[in-house]
Each structure stands twice: as structure tokens, then as C-alpha cells.
Structure 1
Amino acid sequence: MTLASQECEACKAGAPKVSDDELNAFMKQLPDWTPVARDGVLQLERVFKFKNFKQAWAFGNKVAELAEAEFHHPGILMEWGQVTVTWWTHAIGGLHKNDFVMAAKTDTLL
């Protein structure tokens, strides 16, 4: 089953973060995404490029609608010609499987 075809699971504080093995396996399915650490919190990030701000804005709105539908919300930075999307699970201060599912679903919005 692909990550994009899965649904987010309910996740609360104390839920397990992904293991190093899971991280490596999930990253093989998401080659355009990069794990980044910010203030000790591992996050998953990708920069999407567009021809202008209007296209970036439309994509950012699609990401926001997806996030609300799944009730899992990323960081979204819209700039002229690009949108940076950053997924992580706030409740656990790091990466959960849900973040990889949402990254894969984000890729389908292109």
C-alpha cells in the first residue's frame, strides 16, 4: 500500500516517533522531501517551484484544504514562485508516520 493511499491515524502526545529504519524506508518513497532538524525537532520539508505567485498561492490553498480534511496541519510558506511545505507532528515533537502519508498526499496535488 502506498503512503498516499493511507489515512492519518489519530495521534496524541506520547505516540512513537518514527524509528531510523522507518525513516529510511519512508524516504525511499519520498525522494523529493528532506528531513530537517529545527530546534531539535525532526521535520519533513519540500520546496515546490511555480512560474508565479498565483500558481504558488493556488497550490498552497490545495495543501491547506488537504490538511484540514485530514486534520493534520503543516507549515506552509508561500513566496513568489515557490511554496515550502513542512510536515511534523506537534504533539510528539517530531516525525510520525502521518507526516510521511501527508507528504505523499501533498505530492499528488501537483
Structure 2
Amino acid sequence: MNALSQEHCEACRADAPQVSDEELAALIREIPDWAVEVRDGVMQLERRFVFPDFAQALDFTQRVGQLAEDAGHHPRLVTEWGSVVVTWWSHKIRGLHRNDFILAARTDNCFNG
């Protein structure tokens, strides 16, 4: 469990700032298994989690779903046999906010814990 996962998420408004290039470089080091993807000009965090079967992938999906509900911030979740792809970004600001990194770290905790 890293310190980032313990941080508090703040309500993200439409005028909230996206992370700066410097913040991005520092924050991505905290979650080294995640990649930054750009889709339709929107920067997103993405990671594929691998499981031995569908049941464990589905259980993980449900845990991440509960994490998202608790935070009021929802990722893209793609669940398949043996894997789950989780993608975090802040829809309101069309990019990455610190909250996305916090929730990516918490997603790692769901996988590791």
C-alpha cells in the first residue's frame, strides 16, 4: 500500500485543473504498473490485471466498482475471462486529475489485498 492510496479525493469540478506535466511525471512513478493512454485527445490511466479465471476477474471488478461508488468517481471496466482492464480519467475535465492517480493506487490495493 502506498501513500498515494491513503490520500483524500476531492470533488472534481468542471474548472478543476488537470495535472501538470511535472505532477504527471511524479505521480506516475507512484503507480508504475499503469500506463498513460490518450484517446480522442483525453489522457487516461490504464492497467490490465490478470487472473486465472473469470470468477476472480469478476470478483475484482466488483471490488473496484464498490471503490468507485464509495469515491463517487467511476472508471471504465472491461472484464473478460482472465483479465480486467481498468481505465481512470476525470470526465468533467477531459483529462487526468490527482484523484485518478489516487484511485489507481487504490485499485492496485484491491488487486494486491
**Deviation at residue 69 of structure 1 after TM alignment:** 0.4
Which sections of structure 2, spanning at least 5 residues, go unmatched? none
**Deviation at residue 14 of structure 1 after TM alignment:** 1.2
Please give the per-residue CA displacement for 1:1-51, whole angstroms capped at 9, x wherever unaligned.
811001210111011000000000001111000000000000000000000
Mapped to 1, the partners of 2:83 and 2:60 lie a distance apart of 9
Which sections of structure 1, spanning at least 5 residues, go unmatched? none
Mapped to 2, the partners of 1:66 and 1:11 lie a distance apart of 17
CA RMSD of aligned residues (A): 0.9
Q: Which residue of 1 aligns with 2:4?
A: 3
Mapped to 2, the partners of 1:74 and 1:27 lie a distance apart of 17
Find the residue that maps to 1:7 and give its secondary structure. Answer: coil
The alignment's TM-score, normalised by the length of structure 2, stands at 0.95
Q: Which residue of 2 aligns with 1:76?
A: 77
Q: Which residue of 2 aligns with 1:48?
A: 49
Mapped to 2, the partners of 1:72 and 1:7 lie a distance apart of 13
Q: Which amino acid aligns with 1:46?
A: R
Structure 1's consecutive aligned runs of 4 or more residues displaced over 6 angstroms after TM superposition are none
Q: Which structure 2 residues correspond to residues 1-110 of structure 1 after superposition, within 5 A?
A: 2-110=3-111
Aligned length: 110
Mapped to 2, the partners of 1:94 and 1:27 lie a distance apart of 14
The alignment's TM-score, normalised by the length of structure 1, stands at 0.98
Identical pairs, percent? 53
**Deviation at residue 92 of structure 1 after TM alignment:** 0.1
